[in-house]
Amino acid sequence: MANRLRQFLITSALAGALALTGLPAAEKAAATAASLSPVQVSALQTLGSYFNAIRDIRGEFTQIGPKGHVSTGVFYISKPGRMRFEYAPPNPFVVVADGTWVTIKNNAKNKADQYPLSATPLRLVLADQVDLMQEADIKSVDVADGLTTVVLEDKDGLVPGQLVLVFDSQRNALQQWVIVDGQGRRTTITLSNIEASKRPDPKLFVVQLPDTRKPKSSR
C-alpha cells in the first residue's frame, strides 16, 4: 500500500516533471495549442478554469489499485497548497499537503514519509492558478458524450507512465483520474459528492510526525 500511495503522489498528475522545458511560457502554450483542434483547446481551457476556480472543497473518493484492492475515504482541498486525503479503516494511511510539504503517514505503524510539495504533481491541483497547456505535456484530448479525457505523460522520461484525467463537462467536475505506471499497472481514483465548503479547520492540514529520536537509556 505504501508503494501505491507513493505512486499516487509521484505519478498521479505528473505535473512536477511535465514541464515543456527550454521554451518561454508563451511559446510552451503555443506549441501545445498548435497540435490540438479548437474543440480540444476549448476543453483544456474549461478543465484549467475548473482547477483555478477550486478554493475550498470537500468530497469522497474511491481508489482501486492495480490488483483490484478498493479503498475509500474523504478529502479536503484548501487552496493554495493544502490538501488532506483520509483513508477509511482498515486502511491506516493519510496524505496531507500543508503548503510546503506532502506527508504520507501510516497511523498504524506511526511512520511517515515527506516530499516537498513543489516537487510533486500535487502542485498542479493545489496551485493558485495553472495553465495546463503551458505546464503539462499533453499526449491526447478526447471529447465525447459530455466527458473530456486528457492523457498526460512525462516528456523527459523522469517519471515513467501516464496520467488520465476524466472531466465531466456537464457537471463541471473532475470525475476521475487514472494512474498508469511504467509497467502498465493502473490505479483509478474516482471522486464523488464534491461540494464547496467553508474554510476547513487548519488542523486538518497538520500532521504529527513520529518522534524518531532514540530514547535515552536509564541508569
Judge whether 215 lies within some domain: no
The pLDDT assigned to 159 comes to: 58
Judge whether 103 lies within some domain: yes
CA nearest 47: which of 116, 121, 135? 135
89 DSSP β-pair partners: none
What is the per-residue pLDDT across 109-165, written as a single tens digit (0 to 9) for each?
999 999 888 767 677 678 888 777 777 788 899 999 999 999 877 655 555 677 788
What is the per-residue pLDDT across 38-79, written as a single tens digit (0 to 9) for each?
999 999 999 889 888 889 999 999 999 899 999 999 999 999
Separation between Cα atoms, residue 115 and residue 60, nearest integer Å: 24
Judge whether 218 lies within some domain: no
* Cell 484548501, residue located: 78
The predicted model scores a pTM of: 0.74
The domain that holds 200 is classified in CATH as 2.50.20.10
**Domains held by the chain: number:** 1
Which cell is 128 given?
A: 493558485
* Residues whose CB is less than 8 angstroms from the CB of residue 52 and which lie 6 or more positions away in sequence, other chains included: 128, 129, 130
Judge whether 137 lies within some domain: yes
Judge whether 216 lies within some domain: no
Alpha-carbon 119 to chain mean position: 12
The pLDDT assigned to 1 comes to: 47
Q: Is the pLDDT of residue 24 over 80?
A: no
Judge whether 127 lies within some domain: yes
Judge whether 212 lies within some domain: no
Residue 210: pLDDT band by 50, 70, 90 thresholds? confident
| Host domain of residue 129 | 2-205
DSSP 3-state of 32 = helix
Sheet with strand 101-106: strands edge to edge: 111-116, 101-106, 93-98, 82-87, 70-78, 56-64, 186-196, 173-181, 161-168, 147-153, 138-144
